[in-house]
Copies of this chain bind each other. A is one copy, B any other.
Amino acid sequence: MTQAIDIQKATAAFKALKCKECGAEYELKASHVCEFCFGPLEVSYDYSSLRQTVTRESIQAGPNSMWRYRKFLPVASENPIDVGTGMTPLVRSQRLARRLGLNQLYIKNDAVNMPTLSFKDRVVSVALTRARELGFTTVSCASTGNLANSTAAIAAHAGLDCCVFIPADLEAGKVLGSLIYSPTLMAVKGNYDQVNRLCSEVANTHGWGFVNINLRPYYSEGSKTLGFEVAEQLGWQLPDHIVAPLASGSLFTKIYKGFNEFVEVGLVEGKPVKFSGAQAEGCSPIAQAFKEDRDFIQPVKPNTIAKSIAIGNPADGIYAVEIAKKTGGSIESVTDAEIIEGIKLLAETEGIFTETAGGTTIAVLKKLVEAGKIDPDETTVVYITGNGLKTQEAVHGYIGEPLTIEAKLDSFEGALERSRTLERLEWQQVLV
C-alpha cells in the first residue's frame, strides 16, 4: 500500500474522525475504532464553511447523481468515482397508499440504483473514492450479498483489485451478481457475523481497504445521500415520518444525520421527523432492544429469509434505538410470511419488485399503520433498498405459475376461461 499525498484538502469541509462515545479526535486515515474507549469513529465537518459555500442552486447545478452532495461527503477529490449512483426515483404512491389508508406516502426506490440495484452503491462509491485517496490498491468487504455486488462492480469500474467475503449460503443471484465482475470471492461457511469477524482479522494483517471495517467512517457517510435526496425531491422539505430497514443500523442513523445537516446549513427548515425501523423476526436484536427499552443490544443468531439484513450483532444498533425513541418512531419486526406478503403487496400495487429487505420494510409499514403509529396525513417516506431479482428464491412457490398454452386462439380462450372461473371461485371463498 502506498500512501497518497493529498488526503485532506484545506478547502474540504470534513475535518476529523471523531469518537461517537468520548469525542476523541483522529486524523483522517483508515481507522474506525477509538483507541481510548473503543467507540466507533465518525466523520466530522465544518458546517459554518458549508453554510457559506453550498446553496440549493449549487447542488442542483451538480451532476444527476449522489455526487451533487459531494461537499457533504468525506472525500478530498474533485473527481470522485461517479458511475451515476443515486438520484433514484421518489415515487408518490397511489395504490399502496390507498390500500393502507395513507394520504401522503412516498417510496424511495433504490431497487434501481446504479450500478448494482441496492443502496450499497452509495456507500461503496464514497468508500472506494476514499480508499483511492488513502492509497489502497486492493479493496474488500464483509457482506450479506448486496455490498459484495457493489464493491466488486465499482472496483471493476475504478480498476481496483477486489476480494469480497460472503456467507456460503447466500441466494444464487447475489453470488452470481458478484462473480460476474471477476473479484476474488470468498464464500465463508458461517453467518454474517462470523464473516465479519474473519474480515477484521484480515484487515489487520493484509493492509487492504475494507469498505465496512477500516474504511467504515467514510463508507457509512454515503447513506446520508438517501436523506439529502428525499429532502430535495420533496421540494427542499423534510418528511414527517420515515420507515427504513435495519441491518447494522448504519443506514438509519445516517439518514438522520443527513436531515440534520441540511437543517444545520440552512438548506431546509427544521421540523420533527419520526424515524421507524424494520427488522425480520428471525433477526431482530434492534427491535428487541427497542421493545424492552434496553440501552444495549443482545446479539442473536439469524434465522430468516431476509438475509441481506440478517446481522445478529449490529454495530450501530443502539444508535438506531436512540433515534427511534427520541423522534417518537417505532422499531418493529415481521415474520418471513409477512415479508413475502410485503414483497407481493409492493409489486401488485406499485409495480416495484423488491428483495426480502424491502418486503420487510413494507410489512412493517403496514403493521405500523394498523397499530395507529402512522397518521394518515403524515408525509411518510418508505425506503426500498434492494432489488427482488437478487432474491428470487424467496418468492418461489408464492406467486403462481404461468398458464401454458398452444399458439392457438382456442387454447388461449380455454385457459382464460379457466383462470377466470378460478378467480370467481376464490372470490366466492373469500365471501363465504
A binding-site residues for B, Cβ under 8 Å: 64-65, 83-84, 87-91, 94-95, 109, 112-117, 152-157, 159, 163, 166, 168, 172-173, 175-177, 179-182, 184-190, 194-195, 197-198, 201-202, 205, 343-344, 347-353, 387-390, 392, 395-396, 399-409, 412, 415-416, 419
Contact = CB atoms under 8 A, between A and B. Distances in A.
B180 A399 contact: yes
A65 B84 CA distance: 15
Given A112-B117, A114-B109, A184 B419 contact: yes
A200 to B, nearest CB: 10
Contacts of A112: 84, 112-115, 117
A182 B348 contact: yes
A95 B205 contact: no
Given A156-B348, A353-B116, A402 B166 contact: yes
A194 B116 contact: no
A79 B125 CA distance: 35
Contacts of A154: 351
Q: 3 closest Cβ contacts across the A-B interface?
A: A84-B89, A153-B351, A187-B402
Contact of A389 (B89, B117, B395): B117
Nearest to A113: B112
Contact of A180 (B201, B347, B408): B347
A268 B115 CA distance: 29
A389 B197 CA distance: 30
B95 A91 contact: no
> How many protomers of this protein does the assembly include?
2
Q: Tell me which of A90, A163, A186, A403 has the highest count of chain B C-beta atoms within 10 A of its own C-beta.
A: A186
Contact of A347 (B181, B201, B419): B181
A402 B175 contact: yes
Nearest to A185: B402
A352 B89 contact: no
Nearest to A170: B402
Chain A interface, >50% SS class:
mixed
Given A186-B402, A343-B180, A389-B173, A351 B95 contact: no
B188 A389 contact: no
Q: Tell me which of A172, A348, A349, A415 has the highest count of chain B C-beta atoms within 10 A of its own C-beta.
A: A348
Contacts of A88: 84, 114
A390 B116 CA distance: 13
Given A109-B84, A159-B95, A181 B409 contact: no
Contact of A392 (B176, B344, B387, B407): B176
Contacts of A201: 409
Given A157-B352, A181-B351, 18 more contacts: A83-B89, A84-B109, A95-B156, A112-B113, A116-B353, A166-B402, A173-B389, A173-B392, A180-B347, A180-B399, A184-B403, A184-B419, A186-B403, A186-B405, A190-B407, A194-B407, A198-B412, A389-B390
A383 to B, nearest CB: 15
B89 A114 contact: yes
A172 B349 CA distance: 23
Given A387-B389, A402-B175, A115 B353 contact: yes
Contacts of A388: 180
Contact of A405 (B189, B387, B415): B189
A377 B147 CA distance: 36
